[in-house]
Amino acid sequence: MQPGVRVCVSSAAVLGSFCRGCLSRARSWPGRTFSSLPRQMSRWNSQDTCSPPPPQENVRVLITGDTNFHPSLVLNVIISLLMSRKQYGTDNVILSDIKKPPPHVYTSGPFVYADVLDYKHLRELIVNNRITWLVHYSALLSAVGEANVALARKINITGLHNVLDLALENCLRLFVPSTIGAFGPSSPRDPAPDLCVQRPRTIYGVSKVHGELMGEYLHHKYGLDFRCLRYPGVISVNTPPGGGTTDYAVQIFHDALSTGHHECYLRPDTRLPMMHISDCHRATIEFMQAPECQLSLRTYNIAAMSFTPEEVAQEIRKHLPHLKVTYNPDTVRQTIADSWPVRFDDTNARRDWGWAPAFGLEELVTDMLRSIRDKRTNEGLPVS
């Protein structure tokens, strides 16, 4: 056990690791469901109680993703899927998307077509596959969302309402990731605590704050086991840039080993919190496994490191002295970055469920360069 982690008292037997009786505190909810769709079986306005799954029932996970709208995060989901299958069993973790996945996903375990905007089909998947955990990753990233606000609103908010309704209806443990983008220019920046003024100025951030608050509301009113982590910038060798403000921190490694030159769209002194993908995956799984009685919050910051473009470039030059970086700040992305925290305060995550990162900047750079070099070599590509 990590130092300082709280130990569950006898209420753990009542709360358990499953739903606490989602609707035992339900009150009449007038009219239609929150998402205002014509559904015949919403539990929002029901007096029924939610029966917890029997303790011996296996965890069965459905992960939502959408490569049309969020390619980089869906690749992270695929990686997470493959890792979690080792732990929960091949057939118990189901990846979904609206596009054909890479071949290794098909051979690794179940994959199904699912559109987060198709409520009826999502319900069928959950019921037919006896899902107990729903992990909802579908979203439009910050810069892409600003270029198409209507689409971002549709995917990030309407899709969220669908999974909230279904999680409540079926007493699921629901994980919805949040982001550094959930903070705004009036938020404390160094560090940003779990609870503070947020008020983001991007549709991506607004939709994430909406998700945090709706999940917390449904937890307190109906007992929904909602869980949310605010991810910093996530860095992965398998994740190509997908429209995020922190994507330079991935591209710079590829450029260093291909051309030896990187043009950065942020100022050299722009400090942002970052995290290696392995730490991100581990934090998510540990958080989902944590007994509910250990959680004092429904949304937590998680942190690992914080650096600027110039700092990561200097660390890369310890391995590749020839790397050249030029700076050409993009107005949209720089404005977004300037409104975000420079560091996360993750004291509560460390105290409540023992979060601790394994990668610092030095370890991240070493691992990324080694992994990309191996990947390029295996693909027959030149290495600078």
Residue 11, in any domain of the structure = no
The DSSP letter of residue 336 is: H
What pLDDT, on a 0 to 100 scale, did the predictor assign at position 83? 55
| Cβ neighbours of residue 47 closer than 8 Å, sequence gap 6 or more | 23, 26, 28
The β-bridge relationship of strands 261-264 and 299-301 is unpaired
Residue 68, in any domain of the structure = yes
Give the count of domains, the chain. Answer: 1
What pLDDT, on a 0 to 100 scale, did the predictor assign at position 143? 76
Print the domain residue range for 111. Answer: 61-379
Question: Residues of the chain whose pLDDT is less than 50?
Answer: 5-21, 23-42, 47, 49-51, 53-54, 56, 66-75, 77-78
**Does the global pTM surpass 0.75?**
yes
Residue 18, in any domain of the structure = no
* Mean pLDDT, the chain, integer: 83
Residue 6, in any domain of the structure = no
The DSSP letter of residue 54 is: P
| Cβ neighbours of residue 8 closer than 8 Å, sequence gap 6 or more | 15, 291, 293, 294
User: What phi and psi values does residue 230 have, to the nearest 5 degrees?
Assistant: -85, 105
Q: What torsion, rounded to 10 degrees, do the Cα atoms 260, 263, 267, 271 define?
A: -60
Which DSSP helix (H) or strand (E) runs through 351?
Answer: helix 347-353
What pLDDT, on a 0 to 100 scale, did the predictor assign at position 142? 75
DSSP-assigned letters across all residues of 194-254: SSS----SSHHHHHHHHHHHHHHHHHHHH--EEEEEEE-EEE-TT----S-TTTHHHHHHH
204 is catalytic: yes
Q: Can you give the CATH number for the domain in which 375 is found?
A: 3.40.50.720
Residue 293, in any domain of the structure = yes
Residue 363, in any domain of the structure = yes
Give pLDDT tens digits for 68-109.
334 444 445 445 555 555 666 678 888 888 888 777 777 777
Residue 3, in any domain of the structure = no
Give pLDDT tens digits for 197-251.
999 999 999 999 999 999 999 999 999 999 999 999 999 887 767 667 899 999 9
Closest CA to 250 of 278, 218, 274, 270: 274
Q: Residue type at 231?
A: Y
Residue 184, in any domain of the structure = yes
The answer to whether the beta carbons of residues 210 and 160 sit under 8 Å apart is yes
**Which of the residues 88, 113, 119, 204 is marked catalytic?**
204
What pLDDT, on a 0 to 100 scale, did the predictor assign at position 45? 56
